[in-house]
Chain A
Amino acid sequence: MAEFSTAVKDQGSVSVVYLSGYLDAHTASMLENNFSDLISKDKFKIVVNFKDLVYISSAGLGVFMAFIEKIRENSGDIKLTTMSDKVFNIFDLLGFPLLYEIYNSEDEAVKKFEETGKVEK
């Protein structure tokens, strides 16, 4: 069953990862591969668009935890956008809004990188 898919598009210096379907312990490795691939290309400014994601379990949330530090060490970030209420609730239950910036629109998230792009940490 093709239950999860991802697509990556560049928006200037920002990489936007689109998630679709069900992100669980079975499909989490696909997203891990996306992040590993972006990191190997020195692409550390990442926006993840959740618009078509219908389901996430802790295994999916764990992928964000596994990569965020490496990405932030390289002056990048993973910013999250366009989450359904259902998916947001799971993030919220686990306290993820403390660790990740979550935006209503993809544009807003991408622009945030542009605004902070010149500020090195």
Chain B
Amino acid sequence: MKNKNISDKKELKVKSRTENLSEIRAFIKDFASSVGFKQDTIDNMTLACDEACTNIIKHAYKFYPDGEIVIKLKYENKKLVITIIDYGKAFQPESIPEPDIQEYYKQHRVGGLGMYLMKTLMDDVKYVSIPGKYNQVLLSKSLTSSQ
């Protein structure tokens, strides 16, 4: 499972365990740097992908450790599209409000921050959920985008 020929891969399958987040980050980082993204952008994409996978582990699989997470990377027309697929519980992104940090503080809430970060750090975030089949998150970033 650990870091073998990771730079050659464009698809990664891992189990739904937080211990795999470091492998996921390394996978994104190696691929994004090989196609020419600059370090700050790579850091942002890596974090967005970590957040997406953390949400899958916590919410789609509810910490069930043997769920599958598939991460596909495609670089085309100077744009990287990260597709993350899981087979857990369906997800309705519109049910998650934008976080208000002061309200979070009062309510002791800690969720929802990841989704906000993903939207902020990537150019585009799309969710496709086919209940009972799979969920898909698409994160995209253009090579020429400012962040």
Contact = CB atoms under 8 A, between A and B. Distances in A.
A22 B22 contact: yes
Q: Which DSSP category, helix, strand, loop or mixed, fits chain A's interface?
A: helix
Q: Which DSSP category, helix, strand, loop or mixed, fits chain B's interface?
A: helix
Contact of A25 (B43, B54, B104, B116): B54
Interface string A15-26: 000000010111
Contacts of A1: 2, 22
A57 B108 contact: no
Interface residues of A, number: 24
A96 B54 CA distance: 21
Interface stretch (A6-14, A45-53, A59-67): A59-67
5 contacts: A25-B54, A55-B47, A57-B114, A58-B113, A69-B105
Interface of A: 1, 3, 22, 24-26, 55, 57-59, 61-62, 65-66, 68-69, 86, 90, 93-96, 98-99
Interface of B: 2, 18-19, 21-22, 25, 40, 43, 47, 50-51, 54, 57-58, 99, 101-102, 104-105, 108-111, 113-114, 116-117, 120-121
